[in-house]
Structure 1
Amino acid sequence: MTAPSQLFTPLTIRGTTFRNRLWAPPMCQYSVLDRDGVPTDWHLMHLGSIASGGAGLVIAEATGISPEGRISPHDTGLWNDEQVEAWSRITAFIRSQGAVAGVQLGHAGRKASTWPVWGSDGRTGTVPEEDGGWQTVGPSAIPYDGFAAPLALTVEQIRGIVDDFAAAARRAVEAGFELVELHGAHGYLIHQFLSPLSNQRDDEYGGSLENRARLLLEVVRAVRAAVGEELPVFVRLSATDWTEGGLGEQETAVVAGWARAAGADFFDISTGGNVTARIPLGPGYQVSYAEYVKDNGGVEVSAVGLLTTAREAEDVVASGRADAVMMGRELLRDPRFPLRAARELGADIDYWPGQYLRARLA
């Protein structure tokens, strides 16, 4: 007798139940061509197709907590009412398909104001102010390789950023999101504070791991207060900088434990992005880092990293190495991959869209 699929077993976090453990991570679309942070029909189609395709959780792309916090001028935002209204119709559709609607909130720090990866005529690096860019900030005045130098944040400015995260989280709830993820990975602002390679401050936000984690923990506490006790709060972390002297999985596991005590529920474990590094890519190459943080931080985690088949995803969850998987590239290729995976793994699910039932039964 074949064991039931663990990938298609529900998971409950706080008051939210996810119908399965095959989730869509936040994936930047760089599609706000009006540069106003307002999501468009593209976002409705992109996120809605993944929700109707059977994913348990659909997390909207890295969304700026402020205009200057965006990765690029073409990113979405949650700093005004117009954005809330536009997001509301998108979250309503995601929920109507049985998926949980989440959003990743972030501030890009020294990696803000960059040219998007498509539609920029090959231009890379920092967008000049005359082309709609802006002055970037970071924990220290240390530029990312190939980018303009940021200004080091003052303590007062740091506290303003914490407030911006809380305000964006409140707007996320108003917009109908059922989950908030804080972006602490891939070399963006929170990661910049966590890593000694980008944080060389000598005040309460630099030096020791406790000090470098202070911004993240303040954001977690502020966001938890903003969204209340029922809404799940996730944190995405890069477990390693892949560089000697940088952030490593041992410190990341400690930080995850602290963040959970501060009010976070779940940790989306990735790697890299803060400095240029050689990363050995391959199927599931980041799963071991999720497993390490889970085991040593005492937290629930999701795994990412070139997971492309139903069997790979099933094995990660069934083995207990992670509690869920995020499958980005595969869901871009096939938004209905979860439906296909359920069929392949023999999982009996009841959320095939009626319009597609013939494909299930054939």
Structure 2
Amino acid sequence: MSILFSSITLGRQVLDNRVVISPMCQYSADEGRATDWHRIHLGHLALSGAGLMFIEATAVAPEGRISPDDLGLWSDDTEAALTDVLQSVRKYSPIPIAIQLAHAGRKASTPVPWAGGEFITVANGGWQTVAPSALPYETDDTPPIALDEAGLARIRNDFVTAAQRAQRLGLNVIELHAAHGYLLHQFLSPLSNTRNDRYGGTLENRMRFPLEVFDAIRTAVPDDLPVGIRISATDWVDGGWDIDQSIAFAKELQRRNCTFIDVSSGGLSPQQNIPVGPGYQVALAERIRHETGIPTIAVGLITDPEQAETILASGQADMVALARGMLYDPRWPWHAAAQLGAQVHAPKQYGRSQPRAYKDLFKPG
């Protein structure tokens, strides 16, 4: 029996299989509001047969957007727009839906990728960014403002309010974004956090604010609602955040009823040197899983069904997540199930599409 297509339980949520659709920024929102693009994008991925689908990184405040066109969940308007999209998706798909709550910190105020990636100044329609320390991501960027106690309290509250909105939306899983060089990752890494107060310096201090945010979300939602986190397990820069610090962080999260850890890497520094290749981050997920016991999601150039099956069968991770591979092949779970001799859920409208060789591919009902 395929492990990839076996069920797994996260808190109160049972996933039909262990294929996860990663959060993928679409840069297609209107002042934070979900649009018809999200209805199309999430709608067709919801028919993929995956076990869990993430909505893209969703900003908890306007200042926390990567670009002006990022999705948000900070107001009644943004909540209503996402409600409308989710109603359409749920009408035709039972797939569990997760959301990744995010704040970009010093990596905010940039154009959408297809328009070029240079920082947008306030004079050109951007906004003042915030961070643990007044250190820009790129040398030419406008320096962020170092957050004071009031700013930290405001952002903690923004995350909590967004989590409560997510719960109201009936979302099945919440993930806190502490990876890819965004705000919470900026607090963790000594390359971006040079504070000399209780939020900087030692590992304990650098972990403090991300853990406070996690604690605040965990307290604000039911105990059995799955709340996990995405981390960059290493900066891939000498003297930066690394796997040993990530394991220490994971052990603190374990004490706080963290349901899973989604293990990525990099994104904090332009000086990163990433050894990109198939499954290049899987060993990071494996170490965290083995040293903490927390369920992990492996992600990063996992494209082949046998590769995904081997990752799970060898105990390197509990789930695998696909991003670009799923965009390229939105029916990847169908094809993987066919290759591995498993079954997936598919909409009845597509029932006649089963190839003759895989006549039992779709689960009945």
Question: If the length of structure 2 is used for normalisation, what is the TM-score?
Answer: 0.94
1:320-343 Cα deviation digits (max 9, x unpaired): 100000110111001111111111
Gaps of 5+ in 2: 357-365
Matching of residues 1-362 of structure 1 within 5 Å:
4-32=1-29, 34=30, 36-95=31-90, 96-118=92-114, 120=115, 123-145=116-138, 146-276=140-270, 277-349=272-344, 351-362=345-356
One-letter amino acid matched to 1:14: G
* 3-state secondary structure, aligned to 1:289: helix
User: Aligned residue pairs: how many?
Assistant: 353
User: 1:12 and 1:72 mapped to 2: Cα distance?
Assistant: 35
1:214-245 Cα deviation digits (max 9, x unpaired): 11111111111222112100100000000110
Shift of 1:361: 4.1
Maintained 8 Å contact 2:178/2:185: yes
* 3-state secondary structure, aligned to 2:99: strand
Shift of 1:107: 0.6
Shift of 1:132: 2.4
User: 1:313 and 1:160 mapped to 2: Cα distance?
Assistant: 40
Kindly report structure 1 stretches of 4+ aligned residues shifted beyond 3 Å: 92-96
1:194-215 Cα deviation digits (max 9, x unpaired): 0000000011100111110111
Maintained 8 Å contact 1:52/1:94: no
User: 1:143 and 1:88 mapped to 2: Cα distance?
Assistant: 35
One-letter amino acid matched to 2:14: T
Gaps of 5+ in 1: none
One-letter amino acid matched to 1:211: N
1:151-179 Cα deviation digits (max 9, x unpaired): 11102211111111000100111122111
User: 1:214 and 1:136 mapped to 2: Cα distance?
Assistant: 21
One-letter amino acid matched to 1:134: W
1:72-91 Cα deviation digits (max 9, x unpaired): 11001111111111212333
Maintained 8 Å contact 2:100/2:176: yes
Maintained 8 Å contact 1:85/1:175: no
User: 1:59 and 1:90 mapped to 2: Cα distance?
Assistant: 14
Maintained 8 Å contact 1:84/1:174: no
Maintained 8 Å contact 2:121/2:142: no
One-letter amino acid matched to 2:2: S
| Identity percentage of aligned residues | 47
One-letter amino acid matched to 1:56: G
Deviates more, 1:96-105 or 1:159-168: 96-105
* 3-state secondary structure, aligned to 1:133: coil
Maintained 8 Å contact 1:220/1:263: no
User: 1:93 and 1:24 mapped to 2: Cα distance?
Assistant: 18
One-letter amino acid matched to 1:103: I
User: 2:135 and 2:261 mapped to 1: Cα distance?
Assistant: 28
One-letter amino acid matched to 1:301: T
One-letter amino acid matched to 1:64: A
Shift of 1:45: 1.2
User: 1:23 and 1:183 mapped to 2: Cα distance?
Assistant: 16
User: 1:161 and 1:170 mapped to 2: Cα distance?
Assistant: 14
* 3-state secondary structure, aligned to 2:161: helix
State the superposition RMSD in angstroms.
Answer: 1.3
1:288-321 Cα deviation digits (max 9, x unpaired): 0110111123311000111111111111111110
Maintained 8 Å contact 1:257/1:298: no
